Structure 1
Amino acid sequence: MRKVINIAALALLGLALSTANADEAAIRASMTKSMPAVKIDSVKPSEVKGLYEVVVGANIFYVSEDGKYLLQGRLVDVAARKDLTEAKLNGTRKLAIEKIGVANMIVFKPKVSKYTVTIFTDIDCGYCRKLHSEMDQYLAQGITIQYLFFPRSGKDTESYTKAVSVWCADDRNAALTAAKKDQKIPAKTCDNPIDEHMQLGADFDVKGTPMIISESGNIYPGYLPAKQLVEALESEKDPK
């Protein structure tokens, strides 16, 4: 009797997997046809029956099993009062930042690093300048700061040109510090990742700068003093 039940269970599992694979294929085909430029990273069933979770870069969409309907928004577990989408976005943000790579960032590192944050910055942003002027305080707290450029004025503007010049400088860290003090730096051009930074910022829905992202993928919009940032990062390790 048990053997019959096991065979039946395996048959049902096989049917479920087959259906899931067919749904995934339908979703990929539908999205590729309607949005050929979109690169789908993964498709898998969401917590809601008949709705699939589609990861595209740092974004998450929800698509019907036939691929005809797409939802963009947050999936919330009402009973648990938990934003399920945000929890998963943390993971996609981490992967997206890793994909950019430290070699394509400007990094300020303390002697002993306890924490690492990635910050979208604009050279001409007032609070970005305030944060940078307190760099010694962040380093004293053991915080490594990885900068990505997000000139809010857009491409081919003065802020964008400054970002390119900083990246192309012989000493990027010194050039960034000088630029944030409103000191004139030599205008330079070279191969640079600024456009890639800006695209990632758009994917992360950056509304303002600075925008701080922790190693866990959590977002802290705006300026945070060093001690307050450490408290936030520590709370991630020991959530209450």
Structure 2
Amino acid sequence: MMASTNSRTSTYHSPQGRGRRSLQSILAMPLIALGMALTGPTLADDAATIRAALAKVLPEHQPTSVKPSVVDGLYQVDIGPQVMFVTSDGRYLIDGAVIDLQTRENIAESAQAEARQRTMAGVADEDVILFAADQPKHQVTVFTDIDCGYCRKLHHEIDGYNQEGISVRYLFYPRSGPGSPSYNKAVSVWCADDQRAAMTAAKNGEKVPSANCKNPVREHMELGELLGIRGTPAIVLESGEMVPGYVEPKRLAQLLDAASQ
């Protein structure tokens, strides 16, 4: 297989700004005062107050939605795939579990799953490497590192996932970062004439011919960072639930069947 510089492009653009204060660094704090309290008599006023407060600490990140949560006085704020809760006066931000003590539901995780689901739906098939099932019943998105042992184990069973009716969409998340050997392998796989064959060869430890082209590897990584991924493989189910680590094909099919009921 000969690899060459080609014109593959990505249509996904991460909102993460390089060299700027990151959303993830803000969310690392469990509770933060966002600004002076400003009250408003309407939902629109509350939303404007919250947007103004967030703009002071996250100027590069515009909320995609601000809406009342099920908790009185607490608003759900979505910024791409990330979810947070902010008080109506725009002063306090809560990042973490919000538990309904009657139902025992973590409403924060439910909201986060919905945000992941919307985000994954917005990533087009041309921006991933797709191993499609012949008779698809489910689809998952997997953040992968070519040199990760359990990522390789997962890919060695790719036929098993497909036989279970699971299509696998790969996004790259080389944990060693841009410019590393793992990152360069990901770029070479993306830029190969046959991406699927190159992915399989790389996962088998074979040397893939070095290649370079316009590619979405950095954007994949930035998206993974916004999703809070810390290790690979990281599997995002159709429901938006995040499953860390390797899951064998039949067990993953059971999880997907249960989540779809």
Q: TM-score, normalised by structure 1?
A: 0.89
**2:86 alignment counterpart:** 63
**2:226 alignment counterpart:** 203
> Which protein is bigger by CA-based radius of gyration?
1
1:188 and 2:204 correspond: no
Separation (CA, whole Å) in 1 of partners of 2:133 and 2:103: 40
Aligned partners of 2:239 and 2:260 also within 8 Å: no
**Equivalent residue runs for 1:35-50 within 5 Å:** 35-50=58-73
1:113 and 2:136 correspond: yes
**1:99 alignment counterpart:** 122
Separation (CA, whole Å) in 2 of partners of 1:230 and 1:35: 39
**1:221 alignment counterpart:** 244
RMSD: 1.3
1:125 and 2:121 correspond: no
**Equivalent residue runs for 1:77-92 within 5 Å:** 77-92=100-115
3-state SS of 1:138 partner: helix
Separation (CA, whole Å) in 1 of partners of 2:115 and 2:141: 14
**2:182 alignment counterpart:** 159
3-state SS of 2:130 partner: strand
3-state SS of 1:119 partner: strand
Q: How far is the alpha carbon of 1:130 from its aligned partner?
A: 0.7
Q: How far is the alpha carbon of 1:33 from its aligned partner?
A: 2.9
Q: How far is the alpha carbon of 1:74 from its aligned partner?
A: 1.8
Aligned partners of 2:76 and 2:86 also within 8 Å: yes
- Aligned residues, how many? 222
| 1:79-129 per-position Cα deviation (integer Å, ceiling 9, x unaligned) | 211111111111111111122211100000121111111111100000110
Higher relative contact order (CA 8 A, sep 6+): 2
Separation (CA, whole Å) in 2 of partners of 1:202 and 1:114: 28
Q: How far is the alpha carbon of 1:235 from its aligned partner?
A: 1.1
Relative to its length, the structure with more helix (as a share) is 1
Separation (CA, whole Å) in 2 of partners of 1:58 and 1:202: 10
Q: How far is the alpha carbon of 1:18 from its aligned partner?
A: 5.5
One-letter identity of the residue aligned with 1:66: D
Aligned partners of 2:143 and 2:170 also within 8 Å: yes
- Provide the identity percentage: 45
| 1:36-79 per-position Cα deviation (integer Å, ceiling 9, x unaligned) | 11121011112222221111111111112221222211211012
Separation (CA, whole Å) in 2 of partners of 1:77 and 1:174: 48
Separation (CA, whole Å) in 1 of partners of 2:176 and 2:57: 31
**1:10 alignment counterpart:** none
Gaps in structure 2 of 5+ consecutive residues: 1-39
**Equivalent residue runs for 1:1-16 within 5 Å:** none
Q: TM-score, normalised by structure 2?
A: 0.82
Separation (CA, whole Å) in 2 of partners of 1:233 and 1:118: 12
